[in-house]
Amino acid sequence: MSYFESRLGLNFEDLDRIYHVLKFCEELNINNLILEPLNNAKYFHEDLFHKISENTKIKLFFRFNIKPKTIKEFKKEIKFYQKFPNIISLETQVKEIQLKAAKDSRVHVLSFSDPVNMKTITPGLISLAKQNETFIEFSLAPIMIKNRALQSKNFRILYRFIQLILRMKPKFIISGNFDSLYDIRHPRNLCSVCHTLFGIPLEQAKNAFSKNVEMLLAKVKSKEGNKFIQPGVRLIKGDKLI
């Protein structure tokens, strides 16, 4: 089973730093990595992505995270990012945008990496995401902090969030999303943390780090070239039988 670190934010203007981080990940035996450009994502091209991919043994994928504050902003950003053949995730505290994004097939992932965002999730939103096969993502970064009081608080928020997810059974992925280099962990080890500390069944935890991410990537790939209409419907050009 190959495991994915589904979110690692990097500044794409600093290539040396990127290569340093990738080397560190190689040392940790991470095989699959999804990178997220932290700033000025609009100015990056596929060439840069290919250049980075060629210089490492790790299988790289890319994602864009949008953080709109209004619905108008959301519409504008999603229109821009939909042309990229990469994962598009949304992270916001505004409920209206979350609901709109859960219905929108252009948004692949609803991300809840921050404890403040986690508190905004509702069973209604999860149900909507489940119907539209949108993935729900949460990160383990909030539990890797030094301050014990804050760590306990984040544990509780994450625990409640996970129990809700397990009850509603949507498709979900778990990411690290660590800021510091020394916080990064191998996804298999994070599976153990999810299993022992948050009560996620081991098989489900493993799926959240591997199978579900593979499914997400397959979904993104199927949309490449605008051939995708909706799940189960495919446009075949030049076939007279249709």
Binding residues for other proteins (CB under 8 A): 24, 27-29, 144, 146, 182-186, 188-190, 192-193, 195-197, 202
Taking the least distance from each CB to other proteins, the nearer of 186 and 211 is 186
Amino acid at 132: N
Question: How many residues comprise the chain?
Answer: 242
Taking the least distance from each CB to other proteins, the nearer of 150 and 235 is 150
Taking the least distance from each CB to other proteins, the nearer of 45 and 148 is 148
Taking the least distance from each CB to other proteins, the nearer of 75 and 185 is 185
| In the complex, minimum distance from the CB of residue 177 to other proteins, in angstroms, rounded to a whole number | 15
Helix (H) or strand (E) holding 174: strand 172-175
Nearby residues of 1 by Cβ (< 8 Å), 6 or more positions away: 206, 210, 211
Nearby residues of 99 by Cβ (< 8 Å), 6 or more positions away: 124, 125, 128
| In the complex, minimum distance from the CB of residue 21 to other proteins, in angstroms, rounded to a whole number | 13
| In the complex, minimum distance from the CB of residue 149 to other proteins, in angstroms, rounded to a whole number | 14
Return the beta strands (E) in 56-210 as ranges. 59-66, 87-90, 109-112, 135-139, 172-175
Neighbours of 158 (CB within 10 A): 21
| In the complex, minimum distance from the CB of residue 207 to other proteins, in angstroms, rounded to a whole number | 16
